[in-house]
Amino acid sequence: MSTSELSEQEVQRREALNRLRDLGIEPYPAALYPVDHYSSDIKENYEEGKKVVIAGRIMRKKIQGKASFGEILDSKGRIQVYFNRDEICPDEDKTLYNEVFKKLLDLGDFIGIEGELFKTQMGEITVRVHAFTMLSKSLKPLPLPKTDAEGNVHDAFTNPELRYRQRYADLVVNPHVKEIFIKRTKLFNAMREFFNAREYIEVETPILQPIAGGAAARPFKTHHNALDIPLYMRIANELYLKRLIVGGFEGVYEFSKNFRNEGMDRTHNPEFTAMEIYVAYKDYNWMMEFTEQLLEHTAQAVNGTTKATFGEHNIDFKAPYPRVTMRESILEFTGFDIEGKSEEHLRGWCESNGIEVDDTMGRGKLIDEIFGEKCEGNYIQPTFIIDYPKEMSPLCKEHREDSSLTERFELMVCGKEIANAYSELNDPIDQRERFEEQLKLAERGDDEASQFIDYDFLRALEYGMPPTSGLGIGIDRLVMFLTNNQSIQEVLFFPQMKPEKFGEKKVELNDNEKVIFDIISKEKSMALDELKERTGLSNKKWDKGIKALGKLGLTKVTKTDDALIVDLVE
């Protein structure tokens, strides 16, 4: 990158970098820096005169002659530092203060500080700097939001595109963003604790799969060169985890990155995180209790309370949660009883109640449409919706009391599904028939139905799987609820975005610019009006062309008393 493409401030910082080296100061030293305190330690355990060694970015510099204040940002927060010229430079040579600190140290640079604690007249805990060390020079100015005494943020770095594309900068200057991700990690930790305390074990299963099963979704397809076969990126980890239950593990769980080649919006990212857990000898009733205890535990661990705010809603993850069958729910919100109704009857009801349907939809799908359209949005507080129709749950055990239903529940919060669980189907013959049923739906045109049968999974079931209950939780959505974010992008470090275009700046002249340039390169210097005349270009084209040449540094326009002169820059 040539310096002409850099902003003024970037050029200045590179000059400062060179000057530091001239002074014998390495801007990117190799040695470790012996940090022994964080900003938070200092504030929480203040002791007058205590010696500390800290490091971080300098985020504020207020120079007042021979004394200056600054602010160091480390991983735990900010702490004020005080630089005094005669303390840093006790001898005659004041270069370290006057030049290195005042001129060559830029906001965003990493420095190390040895000093001692004191309180200013304003009562602010401050580190009096005895010595400072350049640890890493920052060549690009960070956005610089400021917070005033009332907590109002000025010049906030808010542009979502810039924030998501440059998350590193977002994290440096927006502490509330960092907090979201700390909470995200707390959620993972809390779940792991909960599972590990029960001796369920964390496992890993393949992401590259010959058949992407366990959910109805469009997978990403890739190709393995050595095997010369297509492979799919996982859309769910269900079928692999159940194989492990077959293998004799009693409880297994996995935090899995899943990939779905579908639309993107504020609740869908192409890759997302799910947690799935399978426990042998349990059923979905047990799993409901387990789920509500888990969520109560995690909400408490993340926020210190079971209550959470999401937009206009106040929700409480305190167990237990109400349990409503799908039939009851539809009856409650529509007055329509789906019990024993035929596919035709259901389709007719949908059509007369403004729900879009088509011929590919089977009975289960129609019921799901009714629920999605009329009921789902009403469940703000955590609520279990139970007993789903058999057709839409091909991996779920038939209901013990009603063969048209399955032992399945979803947990709804703020009108959105965040968990899904079954008494897992372990009858291999039934499972094979359900897969075949899905295949028929797929042939009928239902693009959500699975198009492949995972015969290896059926073989595993034939060896025998104990009665098992499984649960899947959408981690990103749960983080959204626990941190009050309406957009999934806010809870992912690096949400998927269209790639930025780098280095595609044109250096070639376009036709208009060439015409002007050809003339001026022969004449070297001429009156602007005359040059314009000779090019024969329209006003617009002339204007664009001459401006472009000027910006490229090829020509220079000078104003004299009575004319404009164009010169060729050699």
In 155-312, where do the E strands start and end? 201-202, 208-209, 221-224, 229-233, 251-259, 271-280, 307-310
Binding window for RNA (CB under 7 A); candidates: 36-44, 192-200, 328-336, 534-542: 534-542
158 is a contact residue toward RNA (CB under 7 A)? yes
24, 34, 123, 248: which one contacts RNA (CB under 7 A)? 123
> To which H or E segment does residue 520 belong?
helix 511-523
Segment interacting with RNA, rule: CB under 7 A, options 181-189, 193-201, 210-218, 299-307: 210-218
Assess 176 for contact with RNA (CB under 7 A). no
User: Segment 317-376, which members bind RNA (CB under 7 A)?
Assistant: 356
Best CA proximity match to 384, nearest among 503, 269, 295, 509: 295
Cβ-based nearer residue to RNA, 420 or 426: 420
- Going by the DSSP 8-state scheme, the letter that residue 229 receives in this structure is E
Which of 50, 114, 145, 568 binds RNA (CB under 7 A)? It is 145
266 binds RNA (CB under 7 A): yes
Sequence-distant (≥ 6) Cβ neighbours of residue 512 within 8 angstroms: 535, 537, 541, 542, 544, 545
Asked if 122 interacts with RNA (CB under 7 A), we say: yes
Structure token pair of residue 565: 């002169």
Single out the residue of 21, 51, 146, 221 in contact with RNA (rule: CB under 7 A).
146
CA distance 41 to 37: 6
Q: Shortest distance, CB of residue 157 to RNA, whole angstroms? A: 5
**What's the distance, Cα to Cα, between the start and end of the chain in Å?**
22
Amino acid at 136: S
Residues 70-109 that bind RNA (CB under 7 A): 80, 82, 84-86, 103, 106-107
Asked if 466 touches RNA (CB under 7 A), the answer is: no
* Residue 378 touching RNA (CB under 7 A): no
Query: CA-CA distance, 533 to 516, in Å (whole number)?
Result: 10
To RNA, the closest distance from the beta carbon of 540 in angstroms equals: 4
Q: How far is the CB of 417 from RNA (least distance, A)?
A: 7
Least distance between RNA and beta carbon 537 (Å): 10
- Residue list 472-501, contact with RNA (CB under 7 A): 472, 486-487, 489, 495, 497-498, 501
Which one of residues 97, 110, 132, 164 is an interface residue with RNA (CB under 7 A)?
Answer: 164
Q: Does 147 bind RNA (CB under 7 A)?
A: yes
Specify the DSSP class assigned to residue 501. P
The residue within the footprint of RNA, chosen from 23, 131, 162, 563 (CB under 7 A), is 162
Please give the residues from 401 up to 460 whose contact with RNA meets the rule CB under 7 A: 420, 448
Q: Are 474 and 274 in contact (CB under 8 A)?
A: yes
Q: Is 210 in the site for RNA (CB under 7 A)?
A: no
Instruction: Return the SS3 of 362.
Output: coil
Q: Is 185 in the site for RNA (CB under 7 A)?
A: no
Name which of 308 and 548 has its Cβ closer to RNA: 548
According to CB under 7 A, which one of 1, 31, 149, 229 is a site residue for RNA? 149
Instruction: Identify which of residues 143 and 301 has a Cβ nearer to RNA in the complex.
Output: 143
Binding mask 8-47 for RNA (x = CB under 7 A): xx--x-----------------------------------
Taking the complex as a whole, how short is the minimal distance between the CB of residue 121 and RNA, in angstroms?
A: 3
Going by their DSSP bridges, the two strands 125-136 and 77-84 should be labelled as: parallel
CB of 506 to RNA, least distance (A): 7
Stretch that binds RNA, among 123-131, 295-303, 379-387, 430-438 (CB under 7 A): 123-131
Residue closest to 39 by CA, chosen among 61, 70, 72, 68: 72
User: Considering the complex, what minimum distance in angstroms separates the CB of residue 263 from RNA?
Assistant: 4
Min dist. Cβ of residue 160 to RNA (A): 4
Pick the stretch among 2-10, 26-34, 244-252, 331-339 that binds RNA (CB under 7 A): 2-10
Q: Tell me how far, at minimum, the Cβ of 34 lies from RNA, in Å.
A: 25
Find, among 466, 409, 416, the residue nearest to 288 by Cα: 409
Handedness of CA 172, 174, 178, 181 (dihedral sign): negative
Maximum Cα–Cα distance across the chain:
99
Cα gap 83→415, rounded to integer Å: 55
**Considering beta carbons, is residue 539 or 560 the nearer one to RNA?**
539
By CB neighbour count within 10 A (0-12 exposed, 13-18 middle, 19+ buried), where does 49 fall?
A: exposed
510 binds RNA (CB under 7 A): yes
Helix (H), strand (E) counts: the chain = 18, 23
* Minimum distance, C-beta of residue 67 to RNA, in the bound complex (Å): 3
Per CB under 7 A, does 544 bind RNA?
Answer: yes
Tokens of 395: 């991996």
Instruction: Report the distance separating Cα 550 and Cα 568, nearest Å.
Output: 10
If one asks whether residue 215 binds RNA (CB under 7 A), the answer comes out as: yes
Q: How far is it, in rounded angstroms, from Cα 458 to Cα 479?
A: 35
Cis geometry, peptide bond prior to residue 320 (ω within 30 degrees of 0): yes
List the alpha helices (DSSP H) in 408-510: 428-444, 455-463, 475-483
235/216 Cα distance (integer angstroms):
8
> DSSP H helical segments within 382-427, as ranges?
none
- Size of interface with RNA, in residues (CB under 7 A): 79
Q: Is 309 helix (H, G, I), strand (E, B) or coil?
A: strand
The yes or no reply on residue 312 touching RNA (CB under 7 A) is no
State the nearest-atom distance from the C-beta of 415 to RNA, in Å.
Answer: 10
Indicate whether 157 belongs to the interface with RNA (CB under 7 A): yes
DSSP state of 320: P
Residue from 214, 219, 362, 389 touching RNA (CB under 7 A): that is: 214
The β-bridge partners of 259 are 271
Would you say 33 or 220 has its CB closer to RNA? 220
> What is the spatial distance between Cα 399 and Cα 393, in angstroms, rounded to a whole number?
11
**Nearer CB in complex with RNA: 223/501:** 501
Is 224 one of the binding residues for RNA (CB under 7 A)? no
